[in-house]
Amino acid sequence: MNKNNTITHIEIPAPDLQKAISFYSKIFNWKIEIITENVYAYFIIGDTNTGGGLDTSLTPSKEKSGAQIVIDVEDIDQTLINIQASGGKIIMPKTLIEGGHGFYASFQDPNGNYLQIHSRV
């Protein structure tokens, strides 16, 4: 498999690093390692050896601006419940994607970032 031109790392703004660590580790079960105390943490997504960073030096974008991050989940309904219970806000509920591409929803994390989740069912 050719790995050239693939996305290998993303940065998520995390003005409150501890809120971000708590939220993403709980909701998506990401493994998170603090690199610089109160400044930067690295996360790994499952067993993919890919991930990114939670960075206090970055500022969350406004809704519908900048790149959009979409995270695959197995159970979108339960994930939305967990997001709300963990301090996130549902922006768009579960919505059908035409053409058999599954469903998506959007949310705002506790730091003010807008992201989306996707599932096939």
The predicted-structure confidence for 8-62, as pLDDT tens digits, reads as follows 899 999 999 999 999 999 999 999 999 999 999 999 998 888 999 999 999 999 9
Domains in the chain (CATH in brackets) are: 9-119 (3.10.180.10)
Q: Is pTM beyond 0.85 here?
A: yes
pLDDT digits (tens, 9 = 90+) for 82-107: 999 999 999 999 999 999 999 999 99
Give which of 112, 118, 65, 117 is closest to 89, Cα–Cα. Answer: 112
